[in-house]
Amino acid sequence: MDDVRSARRRFLTRALGAAGTLALGGCERLSQTEWFPKALSVGQTASSAVAHAVTSRKSMAQEFTEADRSPTFRSNGTAEPDTDEYRALSAKAFADYRLEVGGLVEKPVSLSLAELRALPSRTQITRHDCVEGWSAIAKWKGARLSALLETVQPKPDARFVVFYCADPMKEDGTDFYYESIDFDDAFHPQTILAYDLNDAGLPVANGAPIRLRVERQLGYKHAKYVMRIELVESFAGIEGGKGGYWEDQGYQWFAGI
Amino acid sequence: MASVTANAPAASGYIYYRHTLPVRIMHWINVVALTVLLMSGLSIFNAHPALYWGKSSYTGAPPLLEMRTVDRGDLGYKGVTKVLGHEYDTTGVFGLSKQADGRLAARGFPWWATIPDNQWLSLARSWHFFFAWLLLINGLFYVAYSAATRHLFRDLAPDRNDWRSFGRSIIDHLRFRHPTGEAAKRYNVLQKLAYLAVIFVLVPLVILMGIAMSPWMNTVAPGWVDFFGGRQSARTIHFIAAWLLVAFVVIHVFEVVISGLWNHLRSMITGRYRIRTEAHHG
């Protein structure tokens, strides 16, 4: 009886030890496989489905008061695009800047900063939530993306809006930042092409001359230094095919969680 | 705790069928889920190793907690943890530690406490959200099962006798004294309250504070997260609740070890718990 029991104990001790070691080493090995992270992402797919199910398509992000604003709005991602083209634009206070809007639209346009400022605008004090975990609150003013899209008239097969940016993500000046959103977000009242931050022109560190604000999603969705907008049916053929720079590195396209 | 089985009394007592199969399965799912959630959570925390109180991180007030690497020039680097204005040198553990490959790295929690062990935020989020769903679904099943089988009311809800023995139970715990014989079949009042607090307060709180960090879920009713002090407060509460769960696990495992590790472990694996009669105890 006692022998059986001590043998059982030995077995349990070893089993527990082995399980612990295997579990920790196993987690790392699993992380390196192709299939496991894919299987794990089921969790985020479920979160996205539930988040959409419990909110309306036009649910509004919280807006704050002047007093809630952060003393300074910190820069995230690129602080200054390192290209000659961008430096030339910036040197002339973006007087030569043109925002190209094309793709699946009836009337492609090219807008100057002054023309963008003439579009219907919205001012909002919102919270910027970075995927890293920090938040900052600031006041944004910009052209309503919905107003711009109504001008260019999307074709019936257009489903996504892609934003191409001026900041290269590699030191050799390649791999430009880009992002994409669906039409629910594109026509959302709080989705704007911001040109003012805290009542002054958008600084270079925060995405001058234009940064996207898509308030229901995390910071990496808010493309800075937007140069070109393209309406597409699918982003499968663009860059890594996942719809954005960080998405191509493994982050979720739906950045609402 | 289920019914007594008709086992013949052994020399040192008899075998009692303590945990039903669903409870045992759900218990071990919790062990796995909570472990992965803690470690992947620390990996996510490492992406910005600081905690704040309020609606944003930048309110003008300093962080409540902050881990960072300080460059001391010729003296090299050190890891520093600042808690409520007090600064501690935590080199080797928090703020600066050696990676799995032996190289020093500026990071909040050390590699052995995080999943994945390197600083790979997108994958840490994948781990975290998958096991969060597992914990939530497992928890909902547990509550439904416990209510349906009356496990919740019969074994977990304190009765009048429990409240009367409250002081006695505290003293027993402090003296590491544990009931034997028939009394060992029942959870004691502190144990019941600890389980209920975890099931109905801590786990729901940690999940709710996780949801509060989602900008999309904030739009369900704009401003609801301010009820908890704002998004950054929610993140801080999430962190504290997670460590309270760790504290619960530490005490839980400690109590298991000192009151009969193998007996308890067996009962959570096979369901069978040996009741020792007073005469043979010692």
Residues of chain A contacting residue B123, judged by C-beta atoms under 8 Å apart: 31, 37, 40, 250
Residues of chain B contacting residue A77, judged by C-beta atoms under 8 Å apart: none
Residues of chain A contacting residue B231, judged by C-beta atoms under 8 Å apart: 127, 129, 135
Give domain limits for chain B: 13-52+112-280, 53-111
User: Closest residue of B to A253, CA-based?
Assistant: B122
Query: Has residue A51 been placed in a domain?
Result: no
Looking at the complex, report in whole angstroms how far the Cα of residue B268 sits from the nearest Cα belonging to chain A. Answer: 12
Looking at the complex, report in whole angstroms how far the Cα of residue B41 sits from the nearest Cα belonging to chain A. Answer: 11
Q: Say which of B45, B126, B216 has its CB closest to residue A217.
A: B216
pLDDT at position B10, please? 45
Instruction: Mention every residue, 6+ apart, whose C-beta is less than 8 A from residue A178.
Output: A162, A163, A164, A165, A223, A238, A239, A244, A245
Considering only CA atoms, which of A231, A211, A230, A229 is closest in space to residue A221?
A211
The CATH number assigned to the domain holding A170 equals: 3.90.420.10
CB environment B111-133: b (16+ within 10 A), e (fewer): bebbbbbbbbbbbbbbbbbbbbb
Band the pLDDT of B179: cuts 50, 70, 90: confident
Beta-carbon separation of B125 and A252 below 8 A: yes
**Torsion, Cα of B111, B114, B115, B116 (10° steps):** -30
pLDDT at position B276, please? 83
pLDDT at position A11, please? 77
Task: Give the whole-angstrom CA distance, residue B82 versus residue B87.
Answer: 4
- CATH (one of 1.10.275.30, 3.20.20.70, 3.30.1330.120, 1.20.950.20) for B13-52+112-280: 1.20.950.20
| pLDDT tens-digit readout, B204-247 | 999 999 999 999 999 999 999 999 999 999 999 999 999 999 99
* DSSP assignment letter at B198: I
Test mutation, B31, B137, B219, chain A, max A CBs within 10 A: B219
Please give the interface size between A and B, counted as residue pairs whose CB atoms are below 8 Å apart.
Answer: 146
Beta-carbon separation of A133 and B44 below 8 A: yes
**Number of domain units in chain A:** 1
Test mutation, B39, B129, B266, chain A, max A CBs within 10 A: B129
Q: Is the pLDDT of residue A12 over 50?
A: yes
Q: Say which of A55, A71, A249 has its CB closest to residue B58.
A: A71
Task: Give the whole-angstrom CA distance, residue B28 versus residue A23.
Answer: 14
- Which residue type does B153 have? F
Q: Say which of B39, B127, B265 has its CB closest to residue A12.
A: B265
Beta-carbon separation of A72 and B117 below 8 A: no
| pLDDT tens-digit readout, A137-186 | 999 999 999 999 999 999 999 999 999 999 999 999 899 999 999 999 99
Of the listed ranges A240-244, B12-16, B70-74, the one predicted with least confidence: B12-16
Omega before A168 within 30 of 0, i.e. cis: no
pLDDT at position B273, please? 94
Counting beta carbons within 10 angstroms of the beta carbon of residue B24, is it exposed (0 to 12), middle (13 to 18) or buried (19 or more)?
A: middle
| Average pLDDT, rounded, for chain B | 92
User: Closest residue of B to A48, CA-based?
Assistant: B216
Task: Give the whole-angstrom CA distance, residue A133 versus residue A171.
Answer: 26
Instruction: Mention every residue, 6+ apart, whose C-beta is less than 8 A from residue A201.
Output: A195, A208, A209
Domain enclosing residue A85, as ranges: 62-248
pLDDT at position B247, please? 98
Query: Has residue A13 been placed in a domain?
Result: no
Task: Give the whole-angstrom CA distance, residue B195 versus residue B200.
Answer: 8
Is residue A145 within 8 Å of residue A210, measured between CB atoms? no
Looking at the complex, report in whole angstroms how far the Cα of residue A139 sits from the nearest Cα belonging to chain B. Answer: 14
| Average pLDDT, rounded, for chain A | 94
Q: Is the pLDDT of residue B91 over 90?
A: yes
CB environment A150-167: b (16+ within 10 A), e (fewer): eebebeeebbbbbbbbbb
Determine which helix (DSSP H) or strand (DSSP E) holds A197, and give its type and residue range: strand A192-197
* Rg of chain B taking only CA atoms, in angstroms: 23
- Sole residue written with tokens 């553990």: B93
pLDDT at position B172, please? 93
| pLDDT tens-digit readout, A183-201 | 999 999 999 999 999 999 9
DSSP sequence for A77-132: S-SS---HHHHHHHHTTTTT--EEEEESBSS-EEE-HHHHHHS-EEEEEEEEE-TT
- Sign of the Cα torsion B255, B150, B167, B242 reads positive
Q: Is the pLDDT of residue A42 over 60?
A: yes
Stated pTM of the model: 0.92
